Amino acid sequence: MFKVELKIDSKHYKTLAFAKRICIKDIIENENLSDNIAAYQIEFEYVNSRYEMDRDLKLNCITSNTTEGYLIYQDTATFIMCKAFHNLFSKENQLIIEHSIGDGVYGEIIDYTFSSEDVEKLKREMQRIISRKLPIEKLYVTPSEADEIFLPQGQEDILKNIKFKNIQIYKCGKYYDYFLRQLADDTSLIKSFDLKYHSPGIILRFPKKGKDKITKKFKLPRTLFATHQEHDKWLNILNIHNVSALNKYIKNYKITNLIQIEEALHEKKIIDIANQITWKKDIKIVLIAGPSSSGKTTFAKRLTIQLRVNGTYPHIVGMDNYFLPRKITPRKENGDYDFENIGALDLELLNNNLRDLLAGKEIELPKYNFITGNREKSYKKLQLRENDILILEGIHGLNDKLTSSIPFNQKIKIYVSALNNLNIDSHNRIPTTDSRKIRRIIRDHKFRGHPAEQTLEMWESIREGENKNIFPFQENADFMFNSILTYELAVLKKYGMPLLQSVTEYCPEYLEAKRLIRLFDHIYNIQDDLVPSNSILREFIGGSIFQY
């Protein structure tokens, strides 16, 4: 007799007793559990539904309602789309998954002009694959076995990234692919998806986390999409679209030139934004916003320099000093203070100060004491002269409620984020959230002494705040600045790997740490002395010329 503690999304469900060995699939059927289970874990390791148990253990069923399960849902749907594409089109045509957009991912086809009819054909093939409930098997193969599998499929780009004795791949029927993250046991997990034709590519849409159905209306975030496409042009200039190309630069000692070009592209974009601000004589307030670890502070300081070059004198005003007294700060459902809520700011005082400044009056800037939770006198005065301009950096910068009393023609909104277009290979994109998460892990440890598991644990809460307070307003931006650096993961690796390796198997964040380690495993190292002192990357690794 042995016992199995059954968990759903890491929460206790019930304890079951068995007299003989039993497989996970039988337990799920016997218990009539939800069919949105994306994966199974035993002792922090993924197993498939055919896994047989014969001893005391804990079985965790991960549903697509969780962040982890939702990512498995997305990757499984992407895998099915890639299989359907392989079934329908010549191996000479390559489907590239480029980046996330809205509630989906955007992909393009190399050497083929896709049509709306092709999209419908691909969608029907995906539906056929899903309806057949085809098993998705995880296999481990050697590099030579991988050659025999992927070369006939025309997927040579996968082989360029194989540096391991064994590589984890997935098989569905006669189709094989390499995915960094876990996939579902079979194709039936995907209950809802949609394909949208967006010339020259396609958008694979997913239902929102925790929802069964996809929303019918789809509004393309045009400014965000254009920023992604701009970065894709930068990658064309650099001649880098995947990690193997970056590694080749590093291996051949050509990375210095690439770094200089990419940093110059950043500076050129900042100069362009500064010029546009200067040309618009009415502009007196620049609002900068973006998600965590986007490099907003360094961007603001570099923008300040370029505005000075143009004869404008910027003053950076800290939004944190406009917090309301703690006793009237809004709270979250769990009772914690909700400092990310726009209601946590004294909007009346802020708008009064801004109106006075624009009218040429002198004000005393507020000062917030984070220890006492109260505002106190700062004795710092500010008055705007003819060529002066205000720069306000904060998470609510794109929300019109923040500066509701200021006419639209007197303010400019800038959205800053690290929008990654560099991929592992054609089907394995490196999500933007991963780039920011790695930046945050390193910065939290270096400047705040936090271990990696603490940052990983709080990341879900960070994302919830961004989903509520930042992302809904990103299309309000007049300009978008993409702070990603194609070479940055190669610099961050030496910092990130030891921190992630310190996360033990007893920690709930262990599997996420392992996934990020696998991401780093594909990338070579770049030494710090090649990174310019004014680079946005210096905000996270130290050594910046700017004071923070």
Give tens-digit pLDDT for 471-521.
999 999 999 999 999 999 999 999 999 999 999 988 889 989 999 999 999
Q: Is residue 160 part of a domain?
A: yes
Query: 344 and 307, same structural domain?
Result: yes
The CATH number of the domain holding residue 234 is: 3.40.50.300
Q: What is the mean pLDDT of residues 78-88?
A: 95
The alpha carbons of the chain give a radius of gyration, in whole angstroms, of 25
Sequence-ordered list of residues with C-beta below 8 angstroms from that of 119, at least 6 positions apart, any chain:
195, 196, 197, 202
Query: 216 and 228, same structural domain?
Result: no
Query: 389 and 252, same structural domain?
Result: yes
Our count of domains for the chain comes to: 3
Query: 267 and 407, same structural domain?
Result: yes
Q: Is residue 142 part of a domain?
A: yes
Residue-level pLDDT at 154: 76
Residue-level pLDDT at 45: 87
| Residue predicted with more confidence, 482 or 220 | 482
Query: 523 and 379, same structural domain?
Result: yes
Query: 362 and 382, same structural domain?
Result: yes
Q: Is residue 545 part of a domain?
A: no
pTM: 0.92
Q: Which residue has the tokens 């307030």?
A: 285
| Residue predicted with more confidence, 199 or 366 | 366
Query: 140 and 42, same structural domain?
Result: no
> Final residue of a domain: which of 171, 186, 220?
220
Q: Is residue 547 part of a domain?
A: no
Q: What φ, ψ does residue 8 adopt, rounded to 5°?
A: -120, 120
Sequence-ordered list of residues with C-beta below 8 angstroms from that of 508, at least 6 positions apart, any chain:
10, 457
Structural domain for 33, as ranges: 2-63
Q: Is residue 346 part of a domain?
A: yes
CA distance from start to end of the chain: 61
Residue 244 near residue 160, CB atoms below 8 Å: yes
Query: 178 and 319, same structural domain?
Result: no
Strands (E) across 142-228 are located at 167-172, 175-177, 194-198, 201-205
C-alpha closest to that of 425 among 238, 247, 173: 247
Q: Is residue 544 part of a domain?
A: no
Q: Where are the alpha helices (DSSP H) in 89-204?
A: 116-131, 143-150, 156-159
> Final residue of a domain: which of 166, 197, 220?
220
Q: Is residue 546 part of a domain?
A: no
Query: 311 and 456, same structural domain?
Result: yes
3-state secondary structure at position 515: helix
Query: 118 and 46, same structural domain?
Result: no
Q: How far is CA 252 from CA 243, 246, 263, in A?
A: 14, 10, 20
Residue 230 near residue 224, CB atoms below 8 Å: no
Query: 269 and 403, same structural domain?
Result: yes
Q: Is residue 205 part of a domain?
A: yes
CB atoms within 10 A of CB 205: 19
The CATH number of the domain holding residue 25 is: 3.10.20.30
For 383-401, the pLDDT digits (tens) are 999 899 999 998 999 999 9
Distance CA 495, CA 286 (A): 34
Residue 149 tokens, joined:
């599998």
> Final residue of a domain: which of 172, 187, 220?
220
The CATH number of the domain holding residue 194 is: 3.30.980.10
Residue 161: pLDDT band with limits 50, 70, 90: low
Query: 216 and 238, same structural domain?
Result: no
Q: What φ, ψ does residue 139 adopt, rounded to 5°?
A: -125, 155
